[in-house]
Amino acid sequence: MTQSKTISIAMCTYNGEKFLREQLQSLAWQTRLPAELVICDDLSSDSTINIIRDFSDIAPFPVKLHINPVNLGSAAKGITRNFEQASRLCSGDLISFCDQDDVWLPQKLARMAQIMEERPNLGGVFVDAQLITDLGVPKGILLSETTGMTRHEHLRLMRGQILPVLLSMTKAYGCTLMVDALLVMKLLPVPEHWWFDAWVPCMVALHSGLAYIPEPLMNYRIHANQSGVGASLPTVSIRVKQWKRSAMDYWQEVEPQLTEIYAKLADENSPGMKPHLEYIRGRMDLLRFRAELPASPLFRAAKILRKAGCYQRYLNGWKSIIKDLTA
């Protein structure tokens, strides 16, 4: 018999009056209710606070509202700090993160908590989502289609190939994630060059495993005033821009992130982290190698082909080789 765990929902809000009521209502309609809803508001200037207080009067669970004394900002860094704060204020065994503008399907919490209870050593679980417009109309696109969380990537994650899957791009958005509360407290704060949605799933997976439910259990709203990551299928122009992006530019972006995660894992001095540290070091070495390739096509080709095995392990194999050969 599995042990029932208490659930906290950690929500961050800022000027969310347009969609907040619908999201709050979807939380109240969950087939398995949380023990609490913890909301950290980033000093909203619209009716967001009134909406939350009205909801707290009728909600079927306690609502704890914290209003930030100063605005942390809507950029990734501010949102990250706000979700850190909300997480620390939660008292449940499990924490499910929540944005202000989405809509959860009634079975979302129940399905995720069931997985966590059936697998007590699991650190977290995330789900797929359906993209909707600002009016709530389905766009016919799944979040997994925009993140590259394919069946192949799911299988790799199940096999323990965590870093190859989760370092390539954000696969598990925070709003799709439920985590073990005690574990996530050990993984905070998020380092300077990371954002909440990337750091928490990756570190949870490295320390205890991360499960995936390939079913859309929420509606992820796309609108003009959206904060955070957003989601869309890459257009041809975006794909061309990504293809043309220089290896040096990419290296300069990810080098501080890889340095931070390496330092965090190394500080733990755990034998179990050794393979992950070796992978991160190998990935850093290859990305630095690509950034320093000579301009001469002949010399580039000779160097690149000698590293074919590394391209296969740390990047996208022949796709990355062809990109570097034609750069």
Q: Would you say residue 226 lies in a domain?
A: no
Return d(Cα 237, Cα 242) in angstroms, integer. Answer: 9
Indicate the pTM of the whole model: 0.92
Same domain, 148 and 22: yes
Q: Are residues 168 and 287 in the same domain?
A: no
pLDDT tens digits for the chain (327 residues)? 567 999 999 999 999 999 999 999 999 999 999 999 999 999 999 999 999 999 999 999 999 999 999 999 988 899 999 999 999 999 999 999 999 999 999 999 999 999 999 999 999 999 999 999 999 999 999 999 999 999 999 999 999 899 999 998 789 999 999 999 999 999 999 999 999 999 999 999 999 999 999 999 999 999 877 665 556 555 545 555 565 678 999 999 999 999 999 999 999 999 999 999 999 999 999 999 999 999 999 999 999 999 999 999 999 899 999 999 988
User: How many domains does the structure of the chain reveal?
Assistant: 2
Structure confidence by residue, pLDDT tens digits, 51-61: 999 999 999 99
Same-domain status, 211 and 275 = no
- Is the residue at 110 inside a domain? yes
- Residue 112 in any domain: the answer is yes
Closest CA to 227 of 18, 51, 52: 18
SS3 129: strand
> Given 3-state DSSP classes, what are the helix, strand and coil percentages for the chain, each rounded to the nearest 5?
50, 15, 35
Verify that 214 and 244 share a domain, yes or no: no
Do 97 and 202 lie in a common domain? yes
CA distances from 124 to 113, 220, 228, 232, 293 (A): 10, 20, 21, 25, 39
229 assigned to some structural domain:
no
Q: Do 143 and 271 fall into the same domain? A: no
What is the pLDDT at residue 228?
Answer: 54
Identify the domain containing residue 290 by its residue range: 236-325
Nearest Cα to Cα of residue 165 among 148, 180, 183: 148
Looking up residue 213, the CATH number of its domain turns out to be 3.90.550.10
Of 152, 187, 221, at which residue does a domain stop? 221
- Do 174 and 38 reside in the same domain of the chain? yes
Residue 160 shares a structural domain with residue 205: yes
Cβ neighbours, 10 Å, residue 143: 23
Residue 167 neighbours by CB under 8 Å, 6+ apart: 202, 258, 283
Same domain for 82 and 136 = yes
- Do 183 and 51 fall into the same domain? yes
Q: Looking at the structure, tell me whether residues 199 and 246 fall in a common domain.
A: no
E-only strand ranges, the chain: 7-13, 36-41, 63-67, 94-98, 103-104, 124-132, 138-142, 177-180, 210-221
Task: Verify that 193 and 100 share a domain, yes or no.
Answer: yes
pLDDT of residue 76: 87
